[in-house]
Structure 1
Amino acid sequence: MKLSGKVALVTGGSRGIGRATALAFAAEGADIAFCHLDDGTQADATAGEIRALGKRALHRSVDVADIAAGRAFAEEAARALGPVDILFNNAGINIRKPFEAYTEQEFDRIVDVHLKGMFFMAQAVYPAMVARGEGCIINVASQRALKGAVNSAPYSAAKAAIMGFTRALAWEATPKGVRVNAIAPGPVVTDLTAAMTPEDRQAFIDALPVGRFGRPEEVAATALLLAGPDGGFYVGATLSPNGGDVMY
């Protein structure tokens, strides 16, 4: 098993890409701590699936934009399950509207959850990884960081910043034994894409070479590659399972 004996912390882990990744990691031997935001029923179900795979699960409601709350959760996870070996920095939100209609509060919320939340959650687990001389941090960006999107200016900007953060941290972390990479998924069947209008969804699908949205499990497979022993030569990379939406 590729992650036997490891402990993974997954933000936004109760559903969607986070849930699929938590289950993929557990299936390969990792114990899982995951957070969500007021999603207790679904989180209990996800934890039950992890335990059914024979692995330990811990979950809490945490707003990752609250730095103190994120650090407290990381500390609790380490106490309960052991040192965190893998961080899957996934929590995210979006508010779709025209550029000129965004308020300062909406802008701040999107950037705080995505960029600040990821930055300081990584900071919460990083020192212990450095002390052990090993660890893995995977930050979830988006194909919108690569191509932009209508009605998603703050989201696209935050996701692009995550890619820059990933590269910068990789320069510092790699010599200390901590691998840092990112994933920029394309359109995937999640709660975020479910909020699209049927017309927008169909237009998006029609423009994709594969002719469909992705499945969370397909992104989880990329996360497993980066987290496991086969991902050792990826440094500061952004892998983009996107169905051909962006080719580069």
Structure 2
Amino acid sequence: MKALGETAVLITGGSRGIGSAVAERFASVGMKVIIHYLQAHEAANEVARRCLQYGGDVLTVTADLRSRDQLLRMQEKLELHGFTPDILVNNAGVAHYGLFTDVTEEEWDDNMAINLKGMFMCTQLFAPHMISQKYGRIINVSSVWGLTGASCEVMYSTAKGGVNAFTKALAKELAPSGVTVNAVAPGVVETDMIKHLNAEERALLQSDIPAGRLASPEEIASLVYFLALPESSYITGQVISPNGGWQT
């Protein structure tokens, strides 16, 4: 096990929401933090500036998770800077709202490419390093809808259900190598993904949640961090859903 200052964590989709909160949580303990983004250059730099206030090393990288070539170039950059990740947080994803009968084939393919294929390719690139050193953490950010399904979110629910199955299967494969694989499946979190809700819809949603409120990104980040700890080595293949008691 490396010292904290030598341990590197890669967060995909780290420029906002849960991803930025995860980046700051790891930076706060002195880990080397890699913030991945696609187009949000300034937002990623702002997250990096906040992380740097903790005194650790921070690197921002851009890549389209749908492109293996771009991911390979990202991997080369990380290796060049000595930032090969020991912890991978597959956080990047996109939601989709609408009737199933209106979903186009192009929308389906793109959603699966970002939410599922990107996670697969990223993990496949960085898992060998973890296997070779007999230590690593892979944490996939899923959704409560991957567990229960949601009307008008069939495509998103399907992709996140795939994330959960991927997590359970890969955990069994990598456990002998000292690498854990877990998923965090949040309920409703205060991020841009719910900005389409109006005040009445938000109030109705909150009334359905036993905790009486939405989650903060920092609360989800705390669970991600816990799963990355050395002390969490016996937790693998789990899909944990912090949702305020909303879905059980």
Query: Are the aligned partners of 2:86 and 2:129 in contact in 1 as well (CA < 8 Å)?
Result: no
Aligned twin of 1:54: 55
1:31 counterpart = 2:32:
yes
CA RMSD of aligned residues (A): 1.5
Aligned twin of 1:190: 191
Aligned twin of 1:44: 45
Q: Distance in 2 between matches of 1:97 and 1:3?
A: 44
Shift of 1:70: 2.0
Aligned twin of 2:85: 84
Query: Are the aligned partners of 2:34 and 2:83 in contact in 1 as well (CA < 8 Å)?
Result: no
Give the SS at the match of 1:186: coil
Q: Which runs of 4+ in 1 moved over 4 A?
A: none
Give the SS at the match of 1:81: coil
Give the SS at the match of 1:233: coil
Give the SS at the match of 1:164: helix
- In the TM superposition, 1:1-248 aligns within 5 A as 3-247=4-248
Query: Are the aligned partners of 1:8 and 1:88 in contact in 2 as well (CA < 8 Å)?
Result: yes
Shift of 1:185: 0.7
Query: Are the aligned partners of 1:71 and 1:121 in contact in 2 as well (CA < 8 Å)?
Result: no
Query: Are the aligned partners of 2:138 and 2:181 in contact in 1 as well (CA < 8 Å)?
Result: yes
List alignment gaps of at least 5 residues for structure 1: none
Query: Are the aligned partners of 2:26 and 2:225 in contact in 1 as well (CA < 8 Å)?
Result: yes
Q: Distance in 2 between matches of 1:199 and 1:63?
A: 36
Query: Are the aligned partners of 2:28 and 2:54 in contact in 1 as well (CA < 8 Å)?
Result: yes
Q: Distance in 1 between matches of 2:97 and 2:75?
A: 31
Query: Are the aligned partners of 2:63 and 2:71 in contact in 1 as well (CA < 8 Å)?
Result: yes
Give the SS at the match of 1:137: strand
Q: Distance in 1 between matches of 2:149 and 2:201?
A: 15
Q: Distance in 1 between matches of 2:245 and 2:59?
A: 36
Give the SS at the match of 1:45: helix
Q: Distance in 2 between matches of 1:118 and 1:30?
A: 22
Aligned residues: 247
Deviations 1:150-176 (A, max 9, x none): 221110000011000001101111101
Shift of 1:193: 1.2
List alignment gaps of at least 5 residues for structure 2: none
- Which is further off, 78-87 or 154-163? 78-87
Q: Percent identity?
A: 37
Q: Distance in 2 between matches of 1:168 and 1:127?
A: 16
Shift of the 191–220 alpha-carbon distance from structure 1 to 2, 3 Å rule, reads same
Q: Distance in 1 between matches of 2:124 and 2:239?
A: 20
Question: TM-score if structure 2 supplies the norm length?
Answer: 0.95
Give the SS at the match of 1:59: strand
